[in-house]
Amino acid sequence: MALVTTAEVCDANPQLIVSGELRALQPVFQIYGRRQVFSGPIVTLKVFEDNVLVREFLEEKGNGRVLVVDGGGSLRCAILGGNPVVQAQNNGWAGIVVNGCIRDVDEINGCDIGVRALASHPMKANKKGNGEKHVPITFAGTRICDGEWLYADTDGILITRTELSV
């Protein structure tokens, strides 16, 4: 999103907002990682207090994609930690958005990747492998589908059905 902010995208595209093509997530996320601005095609994952599938995705080549994880909004444990984020950075993921908690914040803040999460929590997640890949998810007031596009900066997070030409 070359030098165009999420606010400018919203101001320039009121028709896309009205039609639902352009949606903003509710402002509930904390900003982590060195990359405050990131964008890319979305890969969705739905889990609850289990991080096996999160780790599996981040072991794959990211190719500039953004992993969007619906962790059910749980504040009881972290479903993302420093090691998988380092792996995601090294595998070319643009960012990770978690509707849940992370841990190893200092390590994550040293990584050149964008991470958004509700909060940090010191307890680790279960490792059962439960969850659903590539499914529509809904959180922060927005339905998010696999293959849509995410744009994030310090003003917020936008979801669009297709890549924006800016």
Extract the annotated binding site for Mg(2+): 104
- Residue type (1 letter), 54: V
Binding positions for substrate: 81-84, 103
Q: Tokens 């990584």 sit at which residue?
A: 111
Q: Tokens 């995410």 sit at which residue?
A: 150
Binding positions: 81-84, 103-104
Is 8 strand, coil or helix?
A: helix
> Would you call 115 exposed, middle or buried from its count of C-beta atoms within 10 A (0-12, 13-18, 19+)?
buried
> Would you call 63 exposed, middle or buried from its count of C-beta atoms within 10 A (0-12, 13-18, 19+)?
exposed
HSE, side-chain direction, 13 A CA sphere, residue 122 = 0
Q: Tokens 């007031």 sit at which residue?
A: 141
